[in-house]
């Protein structure tokens, strides 16, 4: 437990840049001048109500998958039951654990973290998740070694708690490793796909892929229609750099990338 507390404190105390959106929110909500935001963080932030504090700090203390990976690697196949979380949060508050908040002038501002922020962070780390032994063995033989913390975080996501759905991940890892076609980006795209569409099983996903491929190809064919302008004047009339056709190009590119991924996934799951 001590190593978990130390890792939690280290992650919480690493420098975090405040986005322009957060800084603007502070300025607009509390009437703080741009160059006074740092002073506000140190002098006024600790005085705010919990709900106010959460609104300000939630964007920087909501852990993403990469942050979950740190703890997935630390815990391995173990888990931390929810009934132990309040004690973790109290220990972190008592240290005290101090955030290092970076404003857009590059300066760091040290602020003690209250339980409302610590609770948000701890509750979203999936500390109570587990990885079945058979899947854990697959993860431990998937190259390269540097990908394994992220893969463990992927494997601990709630969407895999159903055995039939978990077999999708297991099938992908086993087949792609055997074929030499494993890619971390594909594993992350697979997680996103399953969390979005929630296929019931490998067979369900394999049956869905051709329908999605066909729909994507139709959308790509329709969306790739616009031709370049013949003159700068015509381009300016259509908004110049604000031309919505550029946004359409980005969407088409995203669909093309998804189609390529689905082609690879289909080959792996069908092998």
188 and 261 assigned to the same domain = yes
> What tens digit of pLDDT does each residue of 64-114 get?
999 999 999 999 989 999 999 999 999 999 999 999 999 999 999 999 999
217 and 163 assigned to the same domain = yes
> What tens digit of pLDDT does each residue of 148-160 get?
999 999 999 999 9
Residue 261 CA to residue 215 CA, distance in Å, equals 14
Indicate whether 192 belongs to any domain. yes
Residue that is last in its domain, among 75, 102, 123: 123
Q: How high is the pLDDT of residue 230?
A: 47
Q: How high is the pLDDT of residue 156?
A: 97
119 and 205 assigned to the same domain = no
172 and 218 assigned to the same domain = yes
Q: How confident is the prediction for the chain on average, in pLDDT?
A: 92
Tokens standing for residue 237: 């009339």
Residue 265 CA to residue 267 CA, distance in Å, equals 5
Sheet harboring 108-112: ordered strands across? Answer: 15-17, 98-102, 108-112
Q: How high is the pLDDT of residue 244?
A: 59
Q: How high is the pLDDT of residue 139?
A: 93
Measured between its terminal Cα atoms, the distance across the chain in Å is 43
145 and 96 assigned to the same domain = no
Give the sign of the dihedral formed by CA 247, CA 249, CA 253, CA 259.
positive
From the list 96, 95, 94, 158, the residue with the least C-alpha distance to 123 is 158
Q: How high is the pLDDT of residue 143?
A: 87
Indicate whether 128 belongs to any domain. no
Q: Domains in the chain: how many in total?
A: 2
SS3 percent helix, strand, coil of the chain, rounded to 5, is: 70, 5, 25
pTM: 0.86
Residue 44 CA to residue 93 CA, distance in Å, equals 18
Count other C-beta atoms under 10 Å from residue 250's C-beta: 9
170 and 73 assigned to the same domain = no
Q: How high is the pLDDT of residue 85?
A: 97
Host domain of residue 93: 2-123
Query: Is residue 219 exposed (0-12), middle (13-18) or buried (19+ Cβ within 10 Å)?
Result: middle
16 and 93 assigned to the same domain = yes
* Cα-to-chain-centroid distance, residue 126: 13
Q: How high is the pLDDT of residue 223?
A: 78
> What tens digit of pLDDT does each residue of 19-67 get?
999 999 999 999 999 999 999 999 999 999 999 999 999 999 999 999 9
> What tens digit of pLDDT does each residue of 129-154 get?
999 999 999 999 898 999 999 999 99
Element (H, E) at 93: helix 85-94
Residue that is last in its domain, among 123, 141, 164: 123
17 and 90 assigned to the same domain = yes
């Amino acid at each position: 437990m001590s190593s978990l507390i130390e890792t939690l404190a280290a992650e919480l105390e690493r420098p975090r840049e405040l986005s322009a959106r957060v800084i603007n929110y502070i300025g607009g909500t509390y009437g703080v001048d741009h160059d006074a935001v740092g002073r506000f963080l140190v002098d006024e932030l600790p005085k705010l109500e919990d709900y106010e504090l959460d609104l300000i700090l939630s964007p920087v203390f909501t852990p993403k998958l990469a942050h979950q990976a740190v703890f997935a690697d630390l815990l391995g196949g173990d888990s931390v039951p929810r009934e132990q979380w309040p004690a973790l949060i109290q220990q972190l508050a008592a240290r005290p654990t101090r955030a290092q908040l970076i404003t857009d002038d590059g300066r760091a501002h040290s602020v003690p973290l209250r339980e409302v922020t610590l609770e948000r962070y701890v509750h979203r780390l999936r500390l109570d998740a587990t990885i079945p032994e058979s899947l854990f063995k697959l993860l431990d033989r998937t190259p390269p070694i540097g990908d394994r913390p992220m893969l463990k975080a992927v494997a601990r996501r709630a969407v895999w708690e159903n055995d039939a759905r978990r077999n999708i991940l297991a099938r992908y890892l086993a087949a792609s490793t055997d074929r030499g076609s494993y890619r971390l980006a594909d594993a992350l795209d697979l997680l996103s796909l399953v969390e979005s569409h929630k296929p019931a099983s490998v067979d369900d996903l394999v049956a869905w892929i051709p329908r999605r491929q066909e729909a994507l190809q139709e959308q790509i064919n329709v969306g790739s229609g616009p031709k370049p302008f013949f003159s700068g004047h015509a381009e300016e009339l259509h908004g110049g750099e604000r031309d919505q056709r550029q946004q359409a190009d980005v969407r088409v590119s995203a669909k093309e990338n998804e189609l390529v991924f689905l082609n690879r996934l289909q080959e792996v799951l069908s092998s």
